[in-house]
Amino acid sequence: MHEPSKADQQLAQSQSLLENLARLVPGVIYQYRLYPDGRSAFPYSSPGMNDIYEVTPEEVREDATPVFGRLHPDDYDDVANAIGESARTLQTFYCEFRVVLPRQGLRWRWSQAHPERTEDGGTLWHGIILDITARRQTEAEKAVLETQLQQARKMESVGQLAGGVAHDFNNMLSVILGHTELALEQVSPGQPLHVNLMKIFQAATRSADLTRQLLAFARQQAIMPKALDLNEMVQGLLTLLRPLIGEDIDLKWHPAADLWSVKMDPSQIDQILTNLLVNARDALSDVGKVTLETGNTTFDESYCAEHRGFVPGEYVRLDVSDDGCGMDKDTLSHLFEPFFTTKQLGKGTGLGLATVYGIVKQNNGFINVYSEPGEGSRFSIYLPRHAGNAEQAGTNGAAAAARGQETVLLVEDEPAILELTTTILERQGYTVLAAQTPSEAIHLATRHPGPIHLLLTDIIMPEMNGRDLAKNILAANPHLKSLFMSGYTAGAIGRHGMLDADVSFIQKPFSINELAAKVRVTLDRE
């Protein structure tokens, strides 16, 4: 036995220091050696090798092959090239890459190493490898969220634009429709002019439908939600929509038993179902199958965490599926954008799904689409459950050509509509006090000697909204009835454009008969 030499002691000390440090460092620290004949090895690697590559330092001391076997096939070339480059230039090696490990599966690795030339002409690196899987996952999630946010913003701004255009357009359409109706009444059906006027009337009506779709997309459609039984609604609509689908298409309908109710404007269910069915029909080449289904669905937090786009809660589901052409990824990514269509000119407007999207959003629901090219499509609409029973989806039909002698205070900032509406009401026998601004209306109301029975007002006006105007005038005329009209709502009526059930409202553009009926019904209300 002899005393260990000073040099031996120092070596032992520095080795234990290295071992302690190596254990402290996250990941692995290593020496990697590349021989001139292309073989390579890890002459030294810290115990972290067990985690980083799931190999022991001994297994790769002489031969690095097991490590290369762990590299993700798609990243193998990147790593090999980075090593080659660093060996050639003696610049620092740097690489982020994936590994596939027997126990941990797919993981991300980050490595940096400094090279030096060896006597035999090979290269020796000293470096470190770290686990960056968590960072990579966060980045990926962030990218997904960012895309979603951008998509939402895009839809929002397109919606605002569409809503604004639709609003102005609605006013113009009201004037066209109204004057055409007035003209039609003065031309007997036998005269040639009658045909022309009918054509104008039909075209304007069709434009009004398009405008309504745009407003629905922009979530600026005034709505009157009712508690509804979706099964009953669908059943009723199917009779109407059957001809639209055509005889050769096999239409299956599976209503769920004990379906929860939803609270929604019935006309919005019409819009959803019509658009989805027309799309399903178009996806089928003459023959095929379309299936309608309803159901109750509950999503909990954990389900929604795993399924993007789902929101926890209780929903009534409406599925419309077809075994038609299906959709590719590109189509799916633009599906709900207004004016996105793959149909030939004149066949599609690209407003169908934009409308459905707007309606479902306005009702705090969401949509899920499943489709593959050639495999058909399934659209699932989720509408929030309404706690309570369904009411009857009553009609608001009233006697046509309803007349009266009462006095109506009419407020409308668009002169052409003010004039038209005055003409219509006067023809029905009413006395009309016409005002272009709320202040003018208040002035007229105080000056008018007799009673005022009805306030018919636009909702959105520069000075004061229709609601506040009604409150103001009601103070002096407690028996006054109010009827609101609007082309859009843009949140001015209430949150999400929802009207209280007891508020009378008429959507622009309206026909002479619609207006006359609505005025009569409002006046006759208790």
Nearer to ligand ADP, 223 or 327 (CB): 327
Strands 481-486 and 504-507: parallel
Of 330-338, 347-355, 362-370, 472-480, the segment contacting Mg ion by CB under 5 A is 347-355
Closest contact distance (angstroms) between CB of 222 and ligand ADP is 22
Report the SS3 class of residue 381.
strand
For position 341 contacting ligand ADP by CB under 6 A, the verdict is yes
Nearer to Mg ion, 279 or 504 (CB): 279
For position 364 contacting ligand ADP by CB under 6 A, the verdict is no
For position 283 contacting ligand ADP by CB under 6 A, the verdict is yes
Q: What SS3 string covers 246-311?
A: CCCEEEEEECCCCCCEEEECHHHHHHHHHHHHHHHHHHCCCCEEEEEEEEEEEECHHHHHHCCCCC
Among 170, 171, 213, 279, binds Mg ion (CB under 5 A): 279
Per DSSP, 394 falls in state -
Which of Mg ion, ligand ADP, none does 331 bind, CB closer than 5 to 8 A by kind?
A: ligand ADP
Among 319, 322, 323, 414, binds ligand ADP (CB under 6 A): 322
The residues in 370-409 that bind ligand ADP, with binding defined as CB under 6 A, are 377
CA distance 272 to 241: 12
Nearer to ligand ADP, 313 or 348 (CB): 348
Among 50, 160, 274, 349, binds ligand ADP (CB under 6 A): 349
Among 324, 338, 352, 365, binds Mg ion (CB under 5 A): 352
15: amino acid identity, one letter: Q
Of 65-73, 104-112, 307-315, 325-333, the segment contacting ligand ADP by CB under 6 A is 325-333
- The backbone torsions φ and ψ at residue 332, rounded to the nearest 5 degrees and listed phi first, read -60, -35
Nearer to Mg ion, 257 or 345 (CB): 345
The residues in 31-90 that bind Mg ion, with binding defined as CB under 5 A, are none
Structural contact between residues 404 and 519, judged by C-beta atoms closer than 8 angstroms: yes
Structural contact between residues 403 and 428, judged by C-beta atoms closer than 8 angstroms: yes
Which of Mg ion, ligand ADP, none does 377 bind, CB closer than 5 to 8 A by kind?
A: ligand ADP
DSSP letter string, 91-143: PPEEEEEEEEETTTEEEEEEEEEEEEE-TTS-EEEEEEEEE-HHHHHHHHHHH
For position 342 contacting ligand ADP by CB under 6 A, the verdict is yes
Closest contact distance (angstroms) between CB of 161 and Mg ion is 20
DSSP letter string, 308-348: TT--SEEEEEEEEEE-S----HHHHHHTTSTT---SPTTT-
> What is the binding site for ligand ADP (CB under 6 A)?
275, 279-280, 283, 322, 324-327, 331, 335, 340-343, 348-354, 377
Binding site residues, Mg ion, CB under 5 A = 279, 352
